[in-house]
Amino acid sequence: MSRHEVTASLILPNVLTFARFGLAVAFPLVNPAWRPLILILAALSDAFDGAFSRFFHTASTFGQILDPIADKVFVGVVLLTLLVEQTLSLPALLFVAARDLAVGFGVIVAMIRIGSEAIRRMPPHILGKATTAFQFAFLLWVVYHQSVPIPLLLITGVISVAAGIDYLRNPHWKRPESAARSAVPDDATADL
């Protein structure tokens, strides 16, 4: 791989991730007719930033931390915009955002207990990925049709709640030594 290809493979995934922050800023400001396009671009940037990192073997801690933050900021801005515009109710917002609220709580607890190193020990889970995909699908429907599809709301909400519960059950916010102690039975010896 040439030097330019290496540089591009390092920069492109992060540019795609940063694009979601710009799209989040633009979403409430643009004409509602353009919002479905913004959602599609955000979903594509989410799909391809990780794919490019894996393809080029250039995954970084910075990118692994930035990607979920960009997802949550974008989804949060869209949900809040729809709430303010009264397209979405507060209970529906909380149902769809259950995973994101659980992650936010977990990050705060982890940062308080362990510090910034805890963020590196929060790997993505399949339920979290499914939640993001369903959130984008749900939001695209709501923005395009200006209505809330109850079946898709229920599916998205249930997956989001399940992902939130799964996330909170993960002991990532425990201190490394307490996590290690909880994994070892009381009668274990140092020889094992």
pTM (2 d.p.)? 0.81
Q: Over 70: is that where the pLDDT of 69 sits? A: yes
| DSSP states along 54-87 | HHHT---HHHHHHHHHHHHHHHHHHHHHHHHTTS
> What does each C-alpha distance from 19 to 9, 23, 129, 151, 158 come to in angstroms?
16, 6, 19, 30, 29
Element (H, E) at 123: none
3-175 has CATH 1.20.120 classification? yes
Lowest mean per-residue pLDDT among 26-30, 51-55, 114-118, 177-181: 177-181
For the beta carbon of residue 65, count every other beta carbon within 10 angstroms. 15
**156 vs 144: CA distance, rounded Å:** 17
Domain boundaries, the chain: 3-175
**CA-wise closest residue to 68 among 40, 41, 107, 37:** 107
